[in-house]
């Protein structure tokens, strides 16, 4: 696994993609993943074309807590006092998890519609840059900085890694940020589920492996990322 982690770190640092499979019995999905700060319009195009799922940005808890971001289900719960329908939409029956990592959606304030490859690349890369700076300078007023640079709602979905990370939840959100942290990279990751247009389902692990081999992308399993993280931070 150390060799694969080193390959993944090199690929991520150079602005390339890796693939991450969560685990058997969970979502059983492979995400196409890269450092948010490195995202360009061509990367957004690849995520749309080769992955096809929802393009999101996963944030480490050291970042999103300093930004003051809420989980979307908490926003809905609070707002249900006025809009009763929100209490009826509670996601209490997710078959593979106990709750969702979704937070707000954002656009950078310099975008136009927010949905083009250029616009989404700007939003994602600037979220990545601000996330890195937040790790480096935690004392800054990041809530004001976030509001000055981004508006909500937007077209980029933010995902909040659980505060306990893999001790609390083992989704792609947590796996990708702990991988970045473990190899010394900013834990702000762009990710998108890989889908299969032939079957209408998630891309199989076997087909994902073939895609990774064809493009020279490392592919990591969730349990291997967890082992790496536990050896570094939990040992």
Q: Which of 22, 29, 31, 174 is catalytic?
A: 31
Give the pLDDT score at 172. Answer: 96
Per-residue pLDDT tens for 139-169? Answer: 999 999 999 999 999 999 999 999 999 999 9
> pLDDT at residue 211 above 90?
yes
Q: Which of 21, 22, 60, 107 is catalytic?
A: 107
**Percent of the chain at pLDDT exceeding 70:** 98
Active site residue 93: no
What number is the average pLDDT over the span 185-196?
A: 98
Give the pLDDT score at 234. Answer: 61
**pTM for this predicted structure:** 0.96
Active site residue 31: yes
> pLDDT at residue 1 above 70?
no
Q: Which of 21, 37, 56, 108 is catalytic?
A: 56
What number is the average pLDDT over the span 118-139?
A: 97
Q: Which of 4, 27, 117, 155 is catalytic?
A: 155
Q: Which of 174, 193, 211, 224 is catalytic?
A: 193
Indicate the CATH number of 2-234 among 3.40.50.720, 3.30.1360.70, 3.90.870.10, 3.40.50.1820.
3.90.870.10
> pLDDT at residue 134 above 80?
yes
How does residue 92 score in pLDDT terms, banded at 50, 70 and 90? Answer: confident
Active site residue 172: no
Give the pLDDT score at 82. Answer: 95
> pLDDT at residue 6 above 90?
no
Distance CA(64)–CA(34), nearest Å, equals: 19
Active site residue 155: yes
Q: Which of 10, 24, 45, 96 is catalytic?
A: 96
Give the pLDDT score at 23. Answer: 86
């Amino acid at each position: 696994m150390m060799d694969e982690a080193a390959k993944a770190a090199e690929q991520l640092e150079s602005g390339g993609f890796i693939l991450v499979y969560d685990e058997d019995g969970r979502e059983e999905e492979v995400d196409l993943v890269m450092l948010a700060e490195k995202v360009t319009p061509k990367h957004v195009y690849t995520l749309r074309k080769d992955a096809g799922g929802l393009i999101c940005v996963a944030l480490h808890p050291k970042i999103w807590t300093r930004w003051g971001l809420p989980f979307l289900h908490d926003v809905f719960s609070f707002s249900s006092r006025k809009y009763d329908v929100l209490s009826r939409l509670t996601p209490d029956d997710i078959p593979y998890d106990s709750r969702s990592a979704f937070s707000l959606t954002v656009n950078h304030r310099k975008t136009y519609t927010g949905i083009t490859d250029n616009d989404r690349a700007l939003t994602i890369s600037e979220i990545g840059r601000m996330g890195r700076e937040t790790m480096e300078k935690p004392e800054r007023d990041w809530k004001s900085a976030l509001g000055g640079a981004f508006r909500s709602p937007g077209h980029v979905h933010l995902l909040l890694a659980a505060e306990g990370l893999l001790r609390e939840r083992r989704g792609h959100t947590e796996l990708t940020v702990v991988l970045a942290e473990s190899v010394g990279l900013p834990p702000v990751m762009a990710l998108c589920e890989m889908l299969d247009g032939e079957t209408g389902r998630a891309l199989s692990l076997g087909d994902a492996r073939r895609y990774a081999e064809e493009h020279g992308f490392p592919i990591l399993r969730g349990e291997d990322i967890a082992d790496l993280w536990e050896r570094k931070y939990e040992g």
